[in-house]
Amino acid sequence: MVIKMIKEKQKIRNMRLFIDATISLINEEGYDNVSIRKVGDRALFNSATIYNYFNNIDHLKSIAAVGMIEDYINELKDVDKISNNSYQLLLNVWKVFLSNVYRYPKTFHVLFARKKGKYTSTNMKTYYDVYPDKIVKMPKVLNEMLLSDDLKSRSMHLLNLCKDDGYFKEVDLDDIDNQLIYVFHGLLNDVIASNINDYDSFMSMGIRYINNILNTYKLK
């Protein structure tokens, strides 16, 4: 038992070293320029050791990206205080989400991009398992959403709350969810491709499109 505990502590320590090194390199050089070799050099480890803890550099960067969205997490924790019902909560969570997405597009692309038609895991649970000291106290409903496996699961979590309160029909939830996510990915790709720092315009478009989608299916 003692040996197992020591090994687990060593594992967490090493994962922290690699994640911290990755965050440092991202801040200095950008996501595209971070490599396994550079992370190993920064952490003072043989780069091959990294594969004992992470599948590849993309896996490592996606976990490190969680550590780069503290502003989003801190804004999100207070959303329920300004939301009188599940529908307002859904809208306000999307507003906070998009306001951060378009300020930090590359980070959110790393976190939520689709690869080969599949939604990638946000790796938030992994990050907070390694950094339990950084867990922000959240209302239960938001904590469950935040730790969901991927963007689709997160979005559907809030839509189901709205369905339970009579705002949407269950049969429409998949269509609503898919359209919301297509808006997110479409505008995010436009932001990255345009390299224009006009965050307010993209934010305005995103909220307008989301309102249009929800109003199409809203029952009350």
- Are 49 and 23 contacting, i.e. CB atoms less than 8 angstroms apart? no
Type of residue found at 104: Y
Q: Is the per-residue pLDDT at 118 higher than 60?
A: no
- Are 147 and 157 contacting, i.e. CB atoms less than 8 angstroms apart? no
Q: How many domains does the chain have?
A: 2
Q: What are phi and psi of 187, to 5 degrees?
A: -70, -35
Q: What is the pLDDT of residue 199?
A: 80
Query: How many CB atoms are closer than 10 A to CB 208?
Result: 11
Query: How many CB atoms are closer than 10 A to CB 88?
Result: 14
Summarised one tens digit per residue, pLDDT across range 165-209 is 999 999 999 999 999 999 998 999 888 888 777 788 888 999 999
Among 19, 39, 66, residue at a domain's last position: 66
Summarised one tens digit per residue, pLDDT across range 127-158 is 999 999 888 888 888 888 888 877 888 889 99
- Residues in Cβ contact with 169 at an 8 Å cutoff, skipping those fewer than 6 apart: 163, 217, 219
| 9 & 110 share domain | no
| 139 & 50 share domain | no
| 16 & 82 share domain | no
Summarised one tens digit per residue, pLDDT across range 32-76 is 999 999 999 999 999 999 999 999 999 999 999 999 998 898 899
| 18 & 107 share domain | no
Burial of 146 from C-beta contacts in 10 A (0-12 / 13-18 / 19+): buried
| 148 & 195 share domain | yes
Q: What is the pLDDT of residue 84?
A: 94
Structural domain boundaries, residue 97: 70-217
| 22 & 106 share domain | no
| 190 & 85 share domain | yes
| 35 & 133 share domain | no
| 109 & 27 share domain | no
Among 66, 94, 116, residue at a domain's last position: 66
Among 47, 66, 85, residue at a domain's last position: 66
Please state, in angstroms and rounded to a whole number, the distance separating the CA atoms of residues 29 and 11.
Answer: 27
Q: Is the per-residue pLDDT at 123 higher than 90?
A: no
| 187 & 120 share domain | yes
Question: Domain holding 59: CATH number?
Answer: 1.10.357.10
Q: What is the pLDDT of residue 217?
A: 97
| 87 & 190 share domain | yes
Q: Is the per-residue pLDDT at 116 higher than 70?
A: no
| 22 & 102 share domain | no
pTM above 0.75, yes or no: yes
Q: What is the pLDDT of residue 155?
A: 87
